[in-house]
Amino acid sequence: MAIFRTRSQWGGLLAFLVLLAVCPLFLSERVLTILTMIGIAIISVHGLNILTGYCGQISIGHVGFMAVGAYASAILTARLGWPFWVALPCAALAAGVAGLIFGLPSLKIRGFYLIMATVAAHFIIIWLVLHLSNLTGGPDGMPVPKPQIGSFVFNSKASYYYLVMGVGCIATYGAVNITRTRAGRAFVAIRDNDLAAEVMGINLFSHKLQAFFIGCVYAGVAGALLVHYYGFASVDQFAFIDSVWFLGMLIVGGMGSISGAILGAVSLKLLDELVTMIGPVLSALVAAQAAASLALITRGLVIILFLIFEPRGLEHRWEILKGYFRLWPFSHEEAE
Amino acid sequence: MNFFLQLVVTGFSLGMIYALVAIGFVIILKCSDAFNIAQGHFVLIGGYLGYTFLVPFHLPIWAALILAIGVAALLGLVIERLALRPLVGQPELAIVMMTIALSTVLEGLVTLIWGGEYKTYHGVLPTFTLAFGGISIPPESLIGLLVSIVAVSALMFVFRYTRIGLAMRATADDLKVVQSLGIRATTVYSVSWVIASIVGVIGGILLGGISGVMIPLAEIGLKAFAVVLLGGINSFGGAILAGIIVGILENVAAGYLDPLVPGGGFAQIFPFVVMVVVLIFRPYGLFGTARIERI
């Protein structure tokens, strides 16, 4: 089935892309920064969505794999002087290979065991980063050059915005199409019932590893974009709790749906911005620690409320809304 | 040799506390098939409760323990009723995410109430040191050991001889049979959360006495997961034995390997290394039952 069935959907897509392309012209740098961060989050969540949402392999070590990509790219560009355009695919590959290694137990184990294996992956990766200080700078972090083409350097907010959105569009296009291939369909079969999938002739081991590889490649790209944006790489950018937020984005948006991943990333990032705006006010009014606790409590509560009241996420709400307006003003479809 | 024995003894008493925390995890898992990622945060809350009752309130340790147990029971009850009950029958990921989200909310509340600062009540617990040979047992560890032993034996008594304990074991075994016998599964769920939060809080008070209380204390939960995986995810005895093993291994590894590894800190990831090794070679742990799946 085609991705877009009608001309108006194509029109909508084109209009959206044009909007993405022109909005740096009239948006402030602060808004552009937020949009860039959202773009990076979307790329990362696409990977987690393929791994967790489509293939059903729950990973709470996603940020660890982002760190692999980030440090691979940082080391290749800063220490070896490779251009960003070569380092980025290599970083993606490195993260993918790390994903393969930690995905190896996934054939034998599932559910909680796999979750724990990915948690272990995160802490082992971060420990390695801290202890390979010759390469990574250890706890001090390392400077990372900005990407450049010829003499043009991506150091303004707007130029980096274009870079992230460009990669983001390619990533989304890739994610949409991966889920339509044979492998993508196999992922869904494995998620729904892996034994049944195996009986149908799907090679579980190979497909689970493929899902890990693809998911971690996305994470690696996102991680590399993140450190090149800051011009600096340090382990503080890859906190364990962020993996939880990525899963939260999937839940809020809707698992196993590309638009759900995007919706989730956008809405949770915007919520974060709201919290950072309200936080200082609350801190001044209540207590110094109110801002930090507000951030934790709101994020946790959002996930809890979605799990209880709308476990299928915003994407599902959106479908309901669309369905409503398709039939409006007649609320029931005529039986054929 | 003395150095080695000292490490083993300290590791043993630390391991008993790990075992206590891990048991809380196993209880919830056995009774309601929920993986409680927030178990470490019960420990964190326990530590701060211990501080509050012992230092600003100046209560004797037995009163502090009883009060903390009361608060913990309430907390477990509320969490189960409000957050976990609506998710009965939902997929695994939903329940795991719920407990993760709970853990962040609990951490947020702890930050709000106690400010996330380092608190310690080191000298408050009675001071005496047992020494034999060249090995000394610090008082906090000894109290930890005693309380852990008492708590573990109390739990064993409950599970073997009381009605609710038997109901919990039966629920773990077969939910449908239990329901057809007229036992309320929801009561069993509530009680399992209450017990889990109580043992977590007791563990927190003990650990707080040894190392002080701070937000990272919650990471003890992650170590408890390593313990649970090693012991077998649905075995109480396994959790106790594995707790002691991990406690001793961690201490011995820290004592001997840290000077060798540049930068040190190997003890922190040691439980995770154990975890990965166990997962690869014996996923159902030392004493767990292997799951046989059918379509």
| pLDDT at residue A285 in the model | 78
- What's the farthest any 2 CA atoms get from each other in chain B? 60
According to DSSP H, which parts of chain A are helical? Answer: 7-22, 29-48, 62-74, 84-103, 112-131, 133-136, 157-178, 182-192, 194-199, 204-230, 240-253, 258-285, 290-309, 313-327
Whether A106 maps to a domain, the answer reads yes
- Which residues, numbered 101 to 130 in chain B, qualify as contacts with chain A under a Cβ-Cβ cut-off of 8 Å? 101-105, 107-109, 111-112, 115-116
Query: Which residue in chain B is spatially nearest to A288 when comparing CA positions?
Result: B115
| pLDDT at residue B293 in the model | 56
Determine the average pLDDT of the residues in A43-65: 93
Residue A152 β-bridge partners = A149
Query: Which residue in chain A is spatially nearest to B226 when comparing CA positions?
Result: A116
Query: Which residue in chain B is spatially nearest to A195 when comparing CA positions?
Result: B295
Range of the domain at A38: 24-327
pLDDT tier, A157 (very low <50, low <70, confident <90, very high otherwise): confident
Share of residues in chain A with pLDDT > 70 (%): 97
Q: For A76-110, what is each residue's pLDDT tens digit?
A: 998 888 889 899 999 999 999 999 998 887 777 77
CATH code, domain with A79: 1.10.3470
Measured CA to CA, the distance from residue A155 to residue A161 in angstroms comes to 10
Which range, A59-73, B26-40, B175-189, has the best average confidence (pLDDT)?
Answer: A59-73
Determine the average pLDDT of the residues in B235-243: 82
Domain layout of chain B by residue ranges: 2-217
Amino acid of residue A295: A
Closest approach of A201 to chain B, Cα-based (Å): 15
Q: Name which residue leads in pLDDT, B185 or A162.
A: A162
Identify all chain B residues contacting A251, using CB atoms and an 8 Å cutoff.
Answer: 94, 97
Determine the average pLDDT of the residues in A214-241: 92
Measured CA to CA, the distance from residue A45 to residue A268 in angstroms comes to 12
Residue written as tokens 């049979």? B177
Identify all chain A residues contacting B295, using CB atoms and an 8 Å cutoff.
Answer: 193, 195-196, 199
Measured CA to CA, the distance from residue A316 to residue A207 in angstroms comes to 27
Determine the average pLDDT of the residues in B124-151: 70
Identify all chain A residues contacting B100, using CB atoms and an 8 Å cutoff.
Answer: 60, 244, 247, 303
Does ipTM come in above 0.90?
no
Q: Which of B287, B293, B109 lies closest to A295 in space, CA to CA? A: B109
Which range, A244-258, A275-289, B203-217, has the best average confidence (pLDDT)?
Answer: A244-258
**Residue B83 to residue A308, Cβ atoms within 8 A:** yes
Whether A16 maps to a domain, the answer reads no
Q: Are A261 and A49 in contact (CB under 8 A)?
A: yes
Identify all chain B residues contacting A295, using CB atoms and an 8 Å cutoff.
Answer: 108
| pLDDT at residue A313 in the model | 87
Query: Which residue in chain A is spatially nearest to B79 when comparing CA positions?
Result: A304
| pLDDT at residue B32 in the model | 78
| pLDDT at residue B77 in the model | 94
3-state secondary structure of A36: helix
Q: Are A280 and A291 in contact (CB under 8 A)?
A: yes
Residue B268 β-bridge partners = none
Q: Which of B90, B105, B283 sits opposite A300 (nearest CB)?
A: B105
Q: For A17-30, what is each residue's pLDDT tens digit?
A: 999 888 888 888 88
| pLDDT at residue A71 in the model | 94
Whether A217 maps to a domain, the answer reads yes
Q: For A293-317, what is each residue's pLDDT tens digit?
A: 888 888 899 999 999 998 888 888 8
Q: Name which residue leads in pLDDT, B52 or B142.
A: B52
Determine the average pLDDT of the residues in A56-83: 92
Count the domains in chain A. Answer: 1
Q: Name which residue leads in pLDDT, A203 or B289.
A: A203
Mean residue pLDDT across chain A? 88
| pLDDT at residue B159 in the model | 83
| pLDDT at residue A264 in the model | 93
**Residue B111 to residue A123, Cβ atoms within 8 A:** no
Share of residues in chain A with pLDDT > 90 (%): 44
Residue written as tokens 């946790």? A300
Amino acid of residue A214: I
Q: Which of A91, A60, A313, A59 lies closest to A211 in space, CA to CA? A: A59
The token pair that represents A309 in the structure block = 């009241």
Q: For A120-156, what is each residue's pLDDT tens digit?
A: 889 889 988 988 888 888 788 888 888 888 778 888 8
Identify all chain A residues contacting B96, using CB atoms and an 8 Å cutoff.
Answer: 58, 112, 115
Whether A10 maps to a domain, the answer reads no
Query: Is the pLDDT assigned to residue A333 strictly greater than 70?
Result: no
| pLDDT at residue A67 in the model | 95
Q: For B64-123, what is each residue's pLDDT tens digit?
A: 889 999 999 999 999 999 998 888 878 877 888 899 899 989 988 998 888 877 887 766
pLDDT tier, B140 (very low <50, low <70, confident <90, very high otherwise): low
| pLDDT at residue B63 in the model | 87
Whether A202 maps to a domain, the answer reads yes
pLDDT tier, B264 (very low <50, low <70, confident <90, very high otherwise): low
Q: For B78-95, what is each residue's pLDDT tens digit?
A: 999 999 888 887 887 788
**Residue A300 to residue B102, Cβ atoms within 8 A:** yes
Cα angle A19, A21, A25; round to 5: 90
Determine the average pLDDT of the residues in B137-141: 69
| pLDDT at residue B129 in the model | 65
Instruction: Please state which of the ranges A201-215, B12-26, B35-49 shows the lowest mean pLDDT.
Output: B12-26
| pLDDT at residue A189 in the model | 94
Q: Name which residue leads in pLDDT, A260 or B116.
A: A260
Q: Which of B96, B105, B273 sits opposite A297 (nearest CB)?
A: B105
| pLDDT at residue A188 in the model | 93
Q: Does residue B289 sit at the A interface (CB-CB below 8 Å)?
A: no
Query: Which residue in chain B is spatially nearest to A114 when comparing CA positions?
Result: B279
Q: Name which residue leads in pLDDT, A139 or A65.
A: A65
Q: Which of B83, B87, B279 sits opposite A105 (nearest CB)?
A: B279
